[in-house]
Amino acid sequence: MTGGTIGMGRAIVQALTDRGAEVVFTGRGDARLAEARAALDTPLAHPVRSDATDTTAIAALRDQVADRLGGVDYLFVNQGIAEFQTLEEVTEESWDRIFDVNTKGAFFTVQALAPLMAEGGSIVFTTVSNDRIFPGLSAYSAAKEAVTAFSKVLAAELLPRGIRVNALAPGFILTPTMGVAELSEEQRAEFVEQGNASTPMGRGGTVDEVAAAALYLAVDATFTTGVELPVDGGFGQGLGE
């Protein structure tokens, strides 16, 4: 489970450990990892510091997962960052930062960990409900759309090994960050309000609703591969417009 310290990632770890699964989860810093470990409060959850933008760290993660778990049944690739920047504001550095975390990190995590997976396993990427767009999220939307594209290619490549690959596409989900880097409390409140107004169900989703969808794709959806499942209260479906 990459990006498991807060928000949806932590809720997925919780849902897995509640069902008795042993889970390695990652984040970039020891403090947040320790906080998550304390909140999860189970010996089944193992924090590992690993930055998804660093392929050496991904290789070290693979070794630690192999040592600790032996193999991987389900791989959740959930880390992500979004930054609101208009066309004029995007810089080469911010573009690379967003693609490094969301896209490159996601791909090379799977390249490193897929060899540890056996037949019947599955991979779930967290993308974004991209059927309706947001001004200011060009790099982020493109980075996640790339993940959607390669998740389908990987579904085909891993088909012969009996490994399913799917994505879940959240809309507005009530996480501490709402998925956006360095959001102030005020901006977060504004974003929540916007989310309530633009989501057909009239509210943001909960992390538990996302975790339920993630576990469905990973565990129960045994006849489903190569799909992207929206978990967005109808946001991307054009309902009521």
Q: Does 109 bind ligand NAP (CB under 6 A)?
A: no
Annotated active-site residue in 125, 140, 172, 191: 140
Catalytic: 140?
Answer: yes
Specify the residue, 52 or 213, whose C-beta has the smaller distance to ligand NAP. Answer: 52
230 contacts ligand NAP (rule: CB under 6 A): no
Binding to ligand NAP (CB under 6 A) within 44-73 occurs at 51-53
Helices (H), 70-217: 92-99, 105-113, 138-158, 185-198, 207-215
CA 139 to CA 147: how far, in whole Å? 13
The Cα–Cα gap between 21 and 214 comes to 14
- Three-state DSSP state, 74: strand
Contact between 128 and ligand NAP per CB under 6 A: yes
Task: Rule CB under 6 A: say whether 5 interacts with ligand NAP.
Answer: yes
Phi and psi (nearest 5°) for 40? -70, -35
Nearest approach in angstroms of CB 177 to ligand NAP is 3
Residues that bind ligand NAP (CB under 6 A): 2-9, 26-29, 32, 51-53, 78-82, 101, 105, 126, 128, 170, 172-173, 175, 177-179
